Chain A
Amino acid sequence: MADYQTFDHDVLVIGAGGAGLRAAIEAAGAGVSVGLVCKSLLGKAHTVMAEGGMAAAIGNVDDRDNWKVHFTDTLRGGQYVNNWRMAELHAKEAPDRVKELEAWGALFDRTKDGRILQRNFGGHRYPRLAHVGDRTGLEMIRTLQDHGIHQGIDVHMEVTVTTLLKRGDRVCGALAYDRQQGQFRLFRAKAIVLATGGVGRAYQITSNSWEYSGDGQALAYEAGAALMDMEFIQFHPTGMVWPPSVRGILVTEGVRGEGGVLLNNRGERFMFGDIPDNYKAQTADNPEEGWRYTQGDKNARRPPELLTRDHVARCIVREVREGRGSPHGGVFLDIQWIKEKLPNAAEHIRKKLPSMYHQFKQLADIDITKQPMEIGPTTHYIMGGIRVDGDSQMSNVPGLYAAGESAAGLHGANRLGGNSLSDLLVFGKRAGEYAARFAKDNPAVAPDAGEVNERITEALAPLERKNGESPYRIQQDLQTMMQDLVGIVRQEDEMVRAAEGLAKLKERATRVSAAGNRQYNPGWHTAIDLKNLLTVSEAVILSAIARKESRGGHFRDDYPEKKPEFGGHNHLINRAADGSMKLVAQPIPPMPDELKRIVEEMK
């Protein structure tokens, strides 16, 4: 009989980033008891790293903005495979969610008349991102955290969930261990919200931390929930490339929003040479107009550097492949040039982009007010994830909800910058609200004690096993493989090789062992996370092979065009009865006429 402690909550929220915190606050406000679990300390989740801002059509800077424009921008960016209901709710509700943060203590940068300031970002027609310098995520998570600690939520920090438990169809709890002592905890809950973030650790070059091992997606999949759109991964165009130890760390899009330009080694602004047709009408065709746009000229069109991320990232890859890259395999991002335009440029840059200034100065010995940066694409975000109902955020497993990056739908094939932070608020709130309602309407059911014991034994196996493989080694091999074979430019034969490679890695993972004891043992933790990374990687590979076209974050060398026959469905991944992974194409339900009209009007 394994040893564990039991906790009872009406609603258990797994993950304490923006989505999880917002869900917990909402559920607690609805009067149910709430437990909040996270792998790191409170306030350290990925959300803290977000830089540029959160998108909401408040219209403070340009009053032509409204939810309809935001809605259509989101669909256009997502190449129309988005869950249109989520895109609608998001565009309508984001303004209230952002304003609410101010009532909880957030202090955004201000317009001249004292309102929330908004900045330009790729794919957004008008300046739309509420922000605080380039540390918006910190502002958001701290505001939610500092508000949340007074709402009677039970927080379990440094606790990792390893399994979701079910009785019949319904979820009824989760098994976890605390990272400090290595003791197990059984959470019994009437409803569970997954807000565990993304999968970036499956790749070698990434802006994501160790936490992003796809836990939520894998746990949900194991519990019978469908995953959707797993082929759509966003490679952010601007990650650091040099020195090697910082490769992948994000350089905010805000740099381009403030006038930064992309140059190849011949000093050409290559983005002007490749503007997709459906963006031509709204993109500047000369540098002067682009500059005016970044400085708030409402009659100017945005510079091509601010096209969607998938496109910019691919243009950079092309420049590098064709020999026009920077010395360390990237291209140049130059903001210092604005000194030609602004008298106090250096000070302006430091004020608008303080953490970028800091980051380059400290980590790369580069002064961005004097020198260009070297940048290249980095794995950043997954648009796909757990499939949910647009209104309630419930998965197909009763009582199991998902929100934030772990859920799929809002962003379609490509996410617009700034649409994640607002996503967390809008759908975190909704998930919390509906989970609380579910908990009120349904009685508690007890998890099966036998299953709990079995799962604990399974989790402890890497510690018991001697002289097995190092979890770090297998993780590295997986990362290299995904980077090389299922990265930013994909093709069939490489992905088939990845699928074979994955089977071998899975087999190796059954022999993994971790030295040491149960107390704060990263080797053991990595061994447990590895299983999830392998599950989500398999889902990514399977979905990417099936989508024989290029769309958004998914680009195929062998099928470089977008194909209408792929535009009408999403890919769902399910666990078959025999335990194998199955993919089906699920038609996207038709959009109501009213929304269709809006899309037409805004074309």
Chain B
Amino acid sequence: MAKATFSILRGEAGGGQLVDYTTEVTEGMVVLDAVHQIQAESAGDLACRWNCKAGKCGSCSAEIDGQPRLMCMTRLNQLDLTKPVTIEPMKAFPHFKDLVTDVSWNYRVKKGITKFTPRKPDAADGTWRMHQEDVDRAQEFRKCIECFLCQDVCHVLRDHHLHDEFIGPRFLVYTANLEMNPIDTENRLDELRKLHGIGYCNITKCCTKVCPEEIKITDNAIIPLKERVVDHAFDPLAKLIGLVTGKIPGP
């Protein structure tokens, strides 16, 4: 049987070093399988998060050979196994232990975004009429599995640590989902500009590249939001319409 070596970051907050583990690899294995195997064989206390093992829950985010990816969806045959495969935790969040980081900031950010508020139901039975074309856009954003890989690569968070001023691509996608929900009545354009730092994004598209759900974060969420924010802030007429209708017409 073939063997491969994995260099895994071990240790607690602040400290830690790469430790090599060699284990058997079999057909079809993914990185998460290797981590589990290592746990069972020789490192029972190796900390990592996972749930679904099928790319659906967004728990197992890590940096594999420097690339932000889901461990459960990264096949070993896509990696160069002739040298040790490095597995490290996401770097944009405080390290906790081994592959686990403290992602609680993301949950606090979400709470700060104005919540969904629907218009009055369209039909007497309390339901709404929406056509597939109307929901397509928001449905793309609702595919998000909250893996936070996009947050991890965004330089505003990763390198500049502006967590207090910028909500990051994940929550721009979240805001876009609310803004493009056909029955929502809120307007989040002011908070996007003033509180949530949409202006920090300079459209590098790094977030889009790593999204395992292939959400076109920049093109479909951020850029349209930016356009709306600009229109809203500088167009007095749009502002007036916004005040009256509670909604800004899309670009």
Interface centre among B53, B121, B128 (most CB of A within 10 A): B53
A161 located at the interface, meaning its Cβ lies under 8 Å from any Cβ of chain B in the complex: no
How distant is the Cα of A515 from the Cα of B42 in the complex, in angstroms?
10
Whether A514 and B44, one on each chain, are in contact in the complex, defined by CB atoms closer than 8 angstroms, is yes
Question: Distance (Å) between the CB of A497 and the closest chain B CB?
Answer: 25
A103 located at the interface, meaning its Cβ lies under 8 Å from any Cβ of chain B in the complex: yes
User: Which segment, of A43-51, A413-421, A435-443, faces chain B?
Assistant: A43-51
How distant is the Cα of A434 from the Cα of B53 in the complex, in angstroms?
35
Q: SS class of chain B's interface: helix, strand, loop or mixed?
A: loop
Task: Determine which of A107, A470, A521 lies in contact with B139 in the assembled complex, contact meaning CB atoms within 8 Å.
Answer: A107
Task: Determine which of B57, B98, B110, B139 lies in contact with A149 in the assembled complex, contact meaning CB atoms within 8 Å.
Answer: B110
Cβ of B130: which chain A residues have Cβ within 8 Å of it? Answer: 107, 110, 114
How distant is the Cα of A476 from the Cα of B58 in the complex, in angstroms?
25
Give the nearest-CB partner of A46 in chain B.
Answer: B51
1/0 per residue B154-190: CB within 8 Å of A? 0000000000000000000000001001001000000
Number of A interface residues at 8 Å Cβ cutoff, please give it. Answer: 65
Cβ of A149: which chain B residues have Cβ within 8 Å of it? Answer: 107, 110-111
Question: Using a CB-CB cutoff of 8 Å, which residues 469-483 of chain A contact chain B?
Answer: 470-473, 476
Cβ of A250: which chain B residues have Cβ within 8 Å of it? Answer: 54
Number of B interface residues at 8 Å Cβ cutoff, please give it. Answer: 60
Question: Distance (Å) between the CB of A204 and the closest chain B CB?
Answer: 14
User: Which segment, of B22-30, B198-206, B223-231, faces chain A?
Assistant: B22-30
Give the nearest-CB partner of A520 in chain B.
Answer: B47
Whether A520 and B127, one on each chain, are in contact in the complex, defined by CB atoms closer than 8 angstroms, is no
Give the nearest-CB partner of B133 in chain A.
Answer: A110
Whether A243 and B28, one on each chain, are in contact in the complex, defined by CB atoms closer than 8 angstroms, is yes
A107-B181, A146-B110 are known contacts. Are A521 and B45 too (CB-CB below 8 A)?
yes
1/0 per residue A318-350: CB within 8 Å of B? 000000000000000000000000000000000
Give the nearest-CB partner of A98 in chain B.
Answer: B127
B239 located at the interface, meaning its Cβ lies under 8 Å from any Cβ of chain A in the complex: no
Whether B135 and A107, one on each chain, are in contact in the complex, defined by CB atoms closer than 8 angstroms, is yes
Give the nearest-CB partner of B39 in chain A.
Answer: A522
A150 located at the interface, meaning its Cβ lies under 8 Å from any Cβ of chain B in the complex: yes
How distant is the Cα of A102 from the Cα of B59 in the complex, in angstroms?
26
Task: Determine which of B27, B47, B54, B144 lies in contact with A249 in the assembled complex, contact meaning CB atoms within 8 Å.
Answer: B54
Cβ of A132: which chain B residues have Cβ within 8 Å of it? Answer: 139, 142
B146 located at the interface, meaning its Cβ lies under 8 Å from any Cβ of chain A in the complex: yes
Cβ of A45: which chain B residues have Cβ within 8 Å of it? Answer: 51
Cβ of A310: which chain B residues have Cβ within 8 Å of it? Answer: none
Question: Distance (Å) between the CB of A66 and the closest chain B CB?
Answer: 14
Question: Distance (Å) between the CB of B64 and the closest chain A CB?
Answer: 14
1/0 per residue A400-433: CB within 8 Å of B? 0000000000000000000000000000000000
Cβ of B125: which chain A residues have Cβ within 8 Å of it? Answer: 99
Task: Determine which of A109, A115, A142 lies in contact with B127 in the assembled complex, contact meaning CB atoms within 8 Å.
Answer: A115
How distant is the Cα of A180 from the Cα of B96 in the complex, in angstroms?
8
B4 located at the interface, meaning its Cβ lies under 8 Å from any Cβ of chain A in the complex: no
Question: Distance (Å) between the CB of B27 and the closest chain A CB?
Answer: 5
1/0 per residue A37-76: CB within 8 Å of B? 0001111111011000000000000000000000000000
Question: Using a CB-CB cutoff of 8 Å, which residues 90-147 of chain B contact chain A?
Answer: 96-98, 100, 102-104, 107, 110-111, 115-116, 118, 121, 125-132, 135, 138-139, 142-146
A135-B56, A472-B39, A521-B45 are known contacts. Are A114 and B116 too (CB-CB below 8 A)?
no
Question: Using a CB-CB cutoff of 8 Å, which residues 350-393 of chain A contact chain B?
Answer: 355, 358-359, 362-364
How distant is the Cα of A515 from the Cα of B44 in the complex, in angstroms?
7
B55 located at the interface, meaning its Cβ lies under 8 Å from any Cβ of chain A in the complex: yes
How distant is the Cα of A137 from the Cα of B54 in the complex, in angstroms?
14
A150-B111, A472-B40, A522-B44 are known contacts. Are A105 and B181 too (CB-CB below 8 A)?
yes
B49 located at the interface, meaning its Cβ lies under 8 Å from any Cβ of chain A in the complex: yes
Task: Determine which of B26, B28, B102, B107 lies in contact with A363 in the assembled complex, contact meaning CB atoms within 8 Å.
Answer: B28
A150-B111, A514-B45 are known contacts. Are A99 and B96 too (CB-CB below 8 A)?
no
B33 located at the interface, meaning its Cβ lies under 8 Å from any Cβ of chain A in the complex: yes
Task: Determine which of B49, B73, B107, B145 lies in contact with A362 in the assembled complex, contact meaning CB atoms within 8 Å.
Answer: B73
A246 located at the interface, meaning its Cβ lies under 8 Å from any Cβ of chain B in the complex: yes
Give the nearest-CB partner of B106 in chain A.
Answer: A41
Give the nearest-CB partner of B77 in chain A.
Answer: A365
Cβ of B53: which chain A residues have Cβ within 8 Å of it? Answer: 209, 246, 249
Give the nearest-CB partner of A209 in chain B.
Answer: B51
Cβ of B30: which chain A residues have Cβ within 8 Å of it? Answer: 245, 363
A210 located at the interface, meaning its Cβ lies under 8 Å from any Cβ of chain B in the complex: yes
How distant is the Cα of A242 from the Cα of B29 in the complex, in angstroms?
11
How distant is the Cα of A355 from the Cα of B145 in the complex, in angstroms?
12
B52 located at the interface, meaning its Cβ lies under 8 Å from any Cβ of chain A in the complex: yes
A44-B51, A355-B56, A523-B45 are known contacts. Are A243 and B29 too (CB-CB below 8 A)?
yes
A510 located at the interface, meaning its Cβ lies under 8 Å from any Cβ of chain B in the complex: no
Whether A209 and B50, one on each chain, are in contact in the complex, defined by CB atoms closer than 8 angstroms, is yes
Cβ of B98: which chain A residues have Cβ within 8 Å of it? Answer: 520
B238 located at the interface, meaning its Cβ lies under 8 Å from any Cβ of chain A in the complex: no
A453 located at the interface, meaning its Cβ lies under 8 Å from any Cβ of chain B in the complex: no
Give the nearest-CB partner of A247 in chain B.
Answer: B28
Task: Determine which of B28, B33, B44 lies in contact with A470 in the assembled complex, contact meaning CB atoms within 8 Å.
Answer: B44
Give the nearest-CB partner of A519 in chain B.
Answer: B97
How distant is the Cα of A146 from the Cα of B144 in the complex, in angstroms?
13
How distant is the Cα of A146 from the Cα of B107 in the complex, in angstroms?
10
How distant is the Cα of A358 from the Cα of B108 in the complex, in angstroms?
31
Give the nearest-CB partner of B34 in chain A.
Answer: A245
Whether A244 and B44, one on each chain, are in contact in the complex, defined by CB atoms closer than 8 angstroms, is no
Question: Distance (Å) between the CB of A46 and the closest chain B CB?
Answer: 8
Whether A245 and B73, one on each chain, are in contact in the complex, defined by CB atoms closer than 8 angstroms, is no
How distant is the Cα of A180 from the Cα of B91 in the complex, in angstroms?
18
Whether B73 and A522, one on each chain, are in contact in the complex, defined by CB atoms closer than 8 angstroms, is no
Given A107-B135, A363-B73, A522-B47; 17 other pairs, CB 8 A cutoff: A40-B59, A43-B57, A44-B58, A48-B52, A109-B132, A116-B127, A135-B56, A150-B115, A180-B102, A209-B53, A244-B28, A355-B56, A363-B28, A471-B44, A516-B45, A522-B39, A522-B45
Sample 12 A-B pairs with CB under 8 A, ordered by A number.
Answer: A46-B51, A48-B51, A49-B54, A99-B126, A142-B144, A242-B28, A243-B26, A250-B54, A355-B56, A363-B28, A521-B45, A522-B39
